[in-house]
Chains A and B, each alone.
Chain A
Amino acid sequence: MSPMKLCVPGDRLCSTDDCMPGTGVYLRHGYIYSSLAGYVLRKNEGEELPVISVVRETEAQLLPDVGAIVTCKVTSINPRFAKVHILYVGSTPLKDRFRGTIRKEDVRATEKDRVETYKSFRPGDIVLAKVISLGDVQSNYLLTTAENELGVVVAHSEAGAQMVPISWCEMQCPRTHAKEFRKVARVQPEYLQA
C-alpha cells in the first residue's frame, strides 16, 4: 500500500473537474483546498467523480448536530426537564463536555402529558438520545428519547449496583431486587449483529 498523502490547511488538492468535495476540504475558485492537517483520501462511490476528503486519526472536531445520536450522562432533573452532559456523538468521544436538555415532552412518544421526569431518569444515568435542535441563544442542545431504542442504557440503583432492565419502563437492582422506574432503551436484535 502506498503511503497516504499528507496535507495541511490551505493546500490545493485538485480541481472540481477531477473530484467532488467531501469533508475537511473547501471550495475556492473552482479548486478544492484542504482545511485540515491530515491524510488525503479519494473514494469512488459509484458517482461520476471520486470524492476527495481530508481525514485525521481522530475524527475532526465533531459537534453535536441535529439528528445525531448522542450518549449522555444525566446531571440533574426537575419536573420539566432533565439536564445532561453529552459525552459522545455517535461513537466519537467529545473532549469537552456539552450540555443538553431533555424536556418532559420529549421523553417518550406516547402519553406525553403523563410523563414524569423523575420516573424516567435519575442523575448519573447513561442515556442514548437524539439531537432535535441546537437550541437558541438561551438554551442548550435539545435532545429527545422518544424512540424505542433511545433512553436509559446504564443506571445504578439506590444500593449502588448496576441495574438490569425488566421492561421498557422499569429496571431492577440485582442486589436488593428493588424496582425503579426508567425510560429504558430497547435494543433491536438487528443491531446486535452489527
Chain B
Amino acid sequence: MPTDTKRVRGPEVSQSPSLFLCKTAAKKSTASNDARVDGRQRGQVDVRSVFVRCGLISQAKGSAYIEAGNTKLICCVYGPRETERKDETDMKSGRLITDMRFAPFSCRERGSWIQGSDEKDLSLMLLESLRPGVCLQKYPRSQIEVNVMVLENDGAVLAHAVTCASMALADAGIEMYDLVLGCSIRQEGATYLIDPTFLEENGCNLASGSRENLGSLTVAFLPSLNQISGLQSDGEMGEDTLTGGVRTCIEGCFKLYPVIQQALSKAVRRKAPPSES
C-alpha cells in the first residue's frame, strides 16, 4: 500500500483487539429457532423501527439522516450545479453523482480513510437505484451530487442509504418521479431475516443446517410507481426463494413508506409556506 503522506500516520501494523479475544468469550447463540438477537422474529416482515430527519446539514441543498437500530447514515445533496468537467456536460439531461463512504469508526474493524472497492461498488449500486427516480432531464448541463456517510454499520447499509438519499433529494427540491425506498433480507434456508443486523448479515450466528438458499438480497423500490429500480443479490438462492424474497422486501418498503412521507412533510412544514404569488 502506498504511504499516505497527507495524513497523520500511526505504526505500520496494528491489529484489532477482536483478533485476540479470550476463548471463553465466544458465546454460543441460544438455539431458539424463531427469535432473533434483537427480539424480532425470523420469517416475519419485522423491519427495525427507523428514525428519520430531513434538513440537518446547513451547508447542503438537502440532507437526511436515518437511524435503523444501530445503523446510522447521513446523506447530503448538493446541486444542481455546473458539471466539473466540460467533456461530461450533457446538454439534454443532468448527471447524478453518488459517493458512499464508511467513517473509519463505523465498522467493527477500523476502516481506512481511503475509499475501498466495496465503497465504490456501493456508490455505483446507489446510483443505479436512484437514477430512475430522478427527473434528470429537468437539469440540463448540471450535476447533482449525492454524498452518503455511514456513521455506524449495523447491517443493511445499502438499503438504508437508498432511502436516505432519496429523502435528501426530495429535501433538496430536486424533481423526482417517486421516492426510492430500500429494503434488505438475509435468506437462511427456508426462513429469512428482514433488515438484518451486521452479525446476521455475516452469518455469525447461523443456525446450523442446510447451506442451500443462503444469501442476501437488497431491493430498491419506487412505491407509488410500483417499480423496482435496483436489485442486488449474492449467495445462492433458488428462483422461488428469490422471487419470494423480492416480494418480502417490497412489503418491507411499504412499512417504511408512511414514516418517510411523514418526515418529508414535516421538513416542508418547518419551512415557511410559500407566499401567494
Contacts and interface: CB of A to CB of B under 8 A. Distances in A.
B177 A26 contact: yes
Interface in A134-177: 134-138
A98 B140 CA distance: 13
Contact of B264 (A4, A8, A41): A8
Interface in B124-176: 133, 135, 138-142, 170-176
Interface in B247-277: 260-261, 264-265, 267-269, 271-274
B170 A26 contact: no
Given A10-B179, A57-B271, A96 B170 contact: no
Interface string B28-47: 00000000000000000000
A56 interface: yes
Contacts of B236: none
Interface stretch (A29-37, A76-84, A119-127, A178-186): A29-37
A21 interface: no
Interface residues of A, number: 34
Interface string A96-119: 111100000000000000000000
Contacts of B140: 63, 134
B170 A9 contact: yes
Interface in B68-101: 78-82, 86-87, 89, 91
B64 to A, nearest CB: 11
Given A57-B273, A134-B141, A24 B265 contact: no
Q: Which of B61, B133, B173, B222 has the most CB of A within 10 A?
A: B173
B175 A60 contact: yes
A117 to B, nearest CB: 23
Q: Which of B140, B142, B260, B268 has the most CB of A within 10 A?
A: B268
Nearest to B178: A10
A137 B267 CA distance: 36
B189 interface: no
Nearest to B144: A61
B91 A96 contact: no
Contact of B267 (A26, A36, A37): A37
A26 B176 CA distance: 9
Nearest to A7: B265
Q: Which of B61, B80, B91 has the most CB of A within 10 A?
A: B80
A63 B223 CA distance: 29
Interface in B102-136: 133, 135
B153 to A, nearest CB: 28
Interface string A50-84: 00000111101101000000000000000000000
A-B pairs, top 3 by smallest CB distance, nearest first, are: A10-B178, A10-B224, A96-B81
Interface of A: 4, 6, 8-12, 24, 26, 28, 33, 35-39, 41, 55-58, 60-61, 63, 95-99, 134-138
